[in-house]
Homo-oligomer: A and B are copies of this chain.
Amino acid sequence: MTDHIQLATDGKSLLLLDQRILPGREEYFACTDTETTIYALQTMVVRGAPAIGVTAAYGCWLAAREVAQHAADTAQWKNKLTALLDRLEAARPTAVNLRWAVRLMRGAWNAQMDLAALTDTWLAMAKEIHSQDIAINKAMGAYGAACIDDGDTVMTHCNAGALATAGYGTALGVIRAAFEQGKKIKVIANETRPFLQGARLTAYELAREGIPVTVACDNATALLMKRGLVQKVVVGADRIAANGDAANKIGTFGVALLAKHFGVPFYVAAPSSTFDLNTATGEGIPIEERTPLEVTHVGTTQITPTGVPVYNFAFDVTPAQLIAGIVTEKGVLRAPYVENIAKIIGGK
């Protein structure tokens, strides 16, 4: 599955398979400018750190197109475009890939370029980031598959699959690669309240490819591990600090603590763009709070009494000491993380 992020055939907009309504309906949402791109990111038409990065890259190109339609003189277009990039970069706070992609585009913005040249450059860069992401996921899959044994049941939380990336997936890329190697594996997809990425998206992806998957409520983890039904955990990440602390979907931290208790190895799979070496530890990673409506309603059903407040933290941080290995496109990083991340990701 690689067509969930695609350019429209007229070359004027970005089409995103709407992940809010999967698996019930397969419909595309069109991003035509900065506003629609930010809306798609914030309402989770598209989600998953690498997919957010790819979308943001195309979002810079759309911002440049938008400015070209409305701004006349040079000074004006530069200021307007900068303001749009600022808004885009702040669309979601936790996933560092969004910032990474926008900053990459900003870095290619040469003061001598006119708007047309910049627009062309950014489209080419976005396409490159898009296709590179799939290659990166396949490299991660190849490294990560070695961590999965024949006969394993692998638990995953949220969706770190093709839909969360340009294709193939990070955590699900590891699972796909192990499956493609002929290992007889099964997957337990935690449903992942409130947005149900596991029940809706991970189950949908894996079932389409014939990889055996069973959905479990998030609160079944302790019982399933106690019964010996889980041999490995593999999850994605939205931001990894310089010490290996990894932010991921709410609930991941609890799964990691339970995995530690039951002696189940817990892996994180994420491309090097997910590392934020300017953030020393997980304490420095901002945790997004999202609308209560995600918790209070499922589809058209209201599940809580009107007026009762809810918590809706979208992420939590798993400390590095709970992580058996971080699968990247450069290899599987192990403890001591500070040194190995500096060396392999930071190039020091």
B-binding residues in A (CB < 8 A): 23-24, 157, 188, 190-194, 196, 199-200, 203-204, 207, 213-224, 226, 250-251, 253-254, 257-258, 261, 287, 295-296, 298-305, 307-313, 316
Contacts and interface: CB of A to CB of B under 8 A. Distances in A.
Contacts of A191: 193, 295, 303-304
Contact of A253 (B199, B200, B222, B316): B222
A222 B254 contact: yes
A23 to B, nearest CB: 4
Among the interface residues A193, A226, A305, A310, which one has the most CB atoms of the partner chain B within 10 A?
A305
Nearest to A218: B219
B196 A303 contact: yes
A310 B216 contact: yes
B298 A298 contact: yes
B222 A257 contact: yes
A312 B219 CA distance: 11
A193 to B, nearest CB: 4
Nearest to A308: B203
A313 B203 contact: no
A303 B311 contact: no
A253 B214 contact: no
B207 A305 contact: yes
A307 B224 CA distance: 21
Among the interface residues A223, A298, A300, which one has the most CB atoms of the partner chain B within 10 A?
A223
A311 B215 contact: yes
B258 A254 contact: yes
Among the interface residues A23, A214, A217, A253, which one has the most CB atoms of the partner chain B within 10 A?
A217
A245 B23 CA distance: 40
Given A257-B261, A299-B299, 7 more contacts: A191-B295, A215-B296, A215-B304, A215-B308, A226-B253, A299-B300, A301-B301
A323 to B, nearest CB: 15
B23 A215 contact: no
A203 B302 CA distance: 13
B299 A219 contact: no
26 contacts: A24-B302, A191-B193, A191-B295, A196-B303, A200-B303, A200-B304, A203-B304, A203-B308, A207-B305, A207-B307, A214-B309, A215-B295, A216-B311, A217-B312, A219-B219, A219-B250, A220-B311, A222-B257, A222-B316, A223-B253, A223-B254, A223-B316, A257-B261, A299-B299, A299-B300, A299-B303
Given A216-B311, A299-B299, A311-B214, A305 B223 contact: no
